[in-house]
Structure 1
Amino acid sequence: MASTHRRSFLRVAGIIGVSTSLAGCSGIGLMDSSEDLPAGSLKFDNDHTVPHEISIEVLNVGTSKGERRDGHDTVTGTPDTAVPQRNLTATTIVEPGQTQTYESVFESRVWYDVRFTLDDEYSGEDLGRTVFHPNSSSDETTGQILGGNVSDGGELSWQISTTDNLGPSFQ
């Protein structure tokens, strides 16, 4: 299992562009979940009794949140600048009762259409897909963190939480 966990982390690190070890801190890094994460961070929680592979994929980016279509929200508009996370795909294995957080993954002021999978299975539009903007508050004084959670019953869900820590990308 250790080699699978290592491969999984390296896949996340390689895709996002981090070339450090698990304890490294360049770009994004594994953090203690009790820390105040900056806007645009990504958090994976596993409340189940077995390890799970959690994946996230950015399906599209846009300048605004669109209408709900085919069971999920959408994004619309074309960003003026290049969005490095446009083709982001990240996978990691989270051990039982553990949390993995990656700081400042989503650094562009755009809307992201994202899909989560659990153990290579897509749970459906409502449970596995959402749109996310790391700095979507109207007064731009708070940011948001995107999370994927495996419940104690083994089901995947997503959540968006707020943070007062705008981090360097949104100040």
Structure 2
Amino acid sequence: MTPSDQTTSAPPQAQGAAPNANAANAELAALRQRIADLEQELETRDTRATERTQAVQSQVDTHEQRAYQTERSRQQRLARIQSGGQWMLAADQALEQGELDVDNALGIADRDFSVVRQSASSDGQGTVVVQAERIRAQIALARDAASRRDVYAARIALQNAGYMVQLARAASLERSGTSNSLLNP
């Protein structure tokens, strides 16, 4: 063989290596594309997972805020029930001592129970609403009786209202209504 013959004809191994190299390059390119596709799919899944996590966290935050507001309202109702009850007791003690000018004390108690009624109504505490209305009705009876100088009737009305205050307090301490307000947007 002449040296020129050696350069023009490739050895049999070199000729077979070119198609293998092309196939390997094509396979490598396909693998790189597959990796890129998988990375893109993973990124998409991560984005969706992050969005879902944020949505769930937002719902949890909303429920926590509602629970906080509901509990705060409940505590304020209990404080108003306590205050109204104390004003009724002060009026009853004044009536017991013969003092008939109890309209101011009963007016304050009535306002307290009006606030209790509104708060309980907005929080879905129907039993508390009913008791607050009954208390207010008894306070009105006591005010009317005191204005007529009927101490006995006024004190009986306040005694009935006192019993209803206990029921309103007990109903406010129950937390059954809070679960419903958490479910409603």
Alignment TM class, shorter chain as reference: under 0.3
State which structure, 1 or 2, has the greater radius of gyration over its C-alpha atoms: 2
TM-score normalized by structure 1?
Answer: 0.24
More strand as a share of residues: 1
More helix as a share of residues: 2
- The structure showing larger relative contact order (alpha-carbon pairs under 8 Å, at least 6 residues apart) is 1
TM-score normalized by structure 2?
Answer: 0.22
